[in-house]
Every structure is written in structure tokens, then in C-alpha cells.
Amino acid sequence: MEENNTIWIEKYRPARLADIVGQDEIVERLTSYVKTKNLPHLLFTGSAGVGKTTAAVTLAKEFFKDNWQRNFREMNASDERGIDVVRNQIKEFARTMPDGDATFKILFLDEADALTTDAQAALRRTMETYAKTCRFILSCNYSSKIIDPIQSRCAIYRFRPLGGDAVREEIGRIASREELIISPGAMDAIVYIAQGDMRKAINAVQGAAIISPAIDEKSVYAITSTARPDEIAELLSLSLKGDFEPAESLLAQLLHERGIAPNELINQCYRALVKMDLSRELKVQLIDHLGEADFRLSEGANSDIQMEALIARFVLSSEKQRQG
């Protein structure tokens, strides 16, 4: 196995569009731009770790070959989100001529939804003025936060969360390269933890591989501080049966002994709840309780109190359902 301090996220970032997994339709359309030597402004939207940045970088590499670094610039809008960064840094790059035989340059603006409305308005004007010398690729998690004039000037690509097969394919390739042995249960755990995010999957494997090249299910859940699906199922089952004390005890174990973050537990409970066979009324109430707890935690409320209150609401709602 290679050095453990290698950052696998960068090491295994695909170097070609064809190497991107799980986004076949998008890859096919981006490849057509390379073949025609033409590129519109693009807007990539989707959750984290699904390939947006990789697609932008590999697209630039295939357009510009050896000169790609001279004709490509990546900026993160969350670092500097005001109008000055558009007027100065972005405009300065866009107005200069491309290097070599390239007919345009590419500016990749990551997390573009962090830009203020004024900054986006200035960006729109820059995109219009320098369209001949610079193409813009904007990446965001929420396209609704991008103003309509920018959206209308871009070809929009919506990256979906990666499927389990895509995650297994990539993790299997990494395991082969790094000489790791990943058990079937561990692979299922990686897919469960990733939730379509390849970065999460690779980080989970790297963390477990530091401990041992033979990776099992237990080590994956331990290294990522994630509850096993059966533990979440037990927590919900105890709560819905009205057994508050055992549910409270299991909750304390997950939070304090296992060190699982409250928000992660809420997320896992939600994923389990939506799949459970419950009455519509009860399921709606429970999801509402999850949303309320999640909001209160985001506002800075005490996590222990809120998580125990969540279990208490589950118990009360289930008892009310049985009595009604």
C-alpha cells in the first residue's frame, strides 16, 4: 500500500471526462463540446462530491491539453463573495487574451451561490462583455440562488447523487490500486455513508485503511462516527414502542460513547423513517419533529436537550397514535 499521508481525493480525481463515473449523460454532452471546439457558459448544480469540480477541470484539460493551466483558473466564491472580486480578479482574468492557439479561456467559479446579488449582477455583465475571450463555468449546490439573468446565459447541468454502483466501481478501483481488502459488508457501509458523495466514500476508505489494509464494516462505521442502520432502526423501534428509558440510553451511547454528531443522527433517522411502514399521520408527525430538532440545533440550542426532547416527542406521538 502507498503512503498513508497521500490525499486520495486529489490522487484519484479523474484526469479525463471518460473517467468520471455515474454521470454518463453529462459526460457525453461535455465531450461533444470538446469535439466541436465550442463551449457555452455552463452552470453545474448538484450536491457535494458528485463530480462538478472534476468535470470542470477535466473539460479544461481536454480543451487546452498541455496549456490548460495557462488558460484555466479556478476560484471559490465562498472565499470572497463581494462585488470587488468580480470587478477586479474575475474581470482581469476574463479580459486578457488566451495563451497559445486557444480561442478562449475558462474561468471556473466554484460555490457561485455564495456570491451576493450585486456580485452576481456584476458577473453577468462581465460574462456578456468578455464572452469571446472567456467562458465561465459556475458551480453551485442550489441553482435557485443564482439570479435568472445568469441562468439564462448558461447551459445548465444538474449532477445527480452518485448511485451505489458508481461508488462501488470507484472504491473497487482504488482498493485494487492501494492493495486493500474491503469486505462486502464494508462496501455496503461505504455506500450507506457516502449518500452519493464520492468524497465521503474515499475519505471513509482512506481513514479505515490507515488502521488496517483489511477493511470491515465495523471499522468503516467507527472511523466515520456513523451509527449502523440497525442501531438507528433499534432507536426508532424503542421510541415508537414507548420505551423511553431504553431509547434514551441508546441515544446517550450513540452521542457520547460513539461520538456521533446530533445532526448526523437526525439525518440517519430521517433516512430510516421515510422507508418505514407507518401510518401517514404518524410519519408526517415524526418527520416534523426531526425538522424542528434540526432547526433548533442549527440555531445553537443545547444538543443533549434537543435530542432527548426529540425522542420524547417520538414516544408521545406514537402513544397518541395507539390511543387514537
pLDDT tens string 120-165: 998 999 999 999 999 999 999 999 999 999 999 999 999 999 999 9
Same domain, yes or no: 186 and 240: no
Q: Which three cell numbers stand for residue 202?
A: 474515499
Residue at 11 is within a domain:
no
Q: Residue 2's pLDDT is what? A: 46
Residue at 14 is within a domain:
no
Residue at 264 is within a domain:
yes
Q: Residue 312's pLDDT is what? A: 96
Single residue among 190, 223, 256 that ends a domain in this structure? 223
Q: Which domain holds residue 233?
A: 229-323
How many structural domains compose the chain? 3
Same domain, yes or no: 197 and 213: yes
Same domain, yes or no: 152 and 171: no
Which parts of the chain have pLDDT scores under 50?
A: 1-4
* CATH code for position 100: 3.40.50.300
Q: Residue 127's pLDDT is what? A: 92
Same domain, yes or no: 88 and 134: yes
For residue range 184-211, what is the model confidence (pLDDT) as tens digits? 999 999 999 999 999 999 999 999 999 9
Same domain, yes or no: 27 and 154: yes
Q: Residue 7's pLDDT is what? A: 63
Same domain, yes or no: 143 and 85: yes
* CATH code for position 219: 1.10.8.60
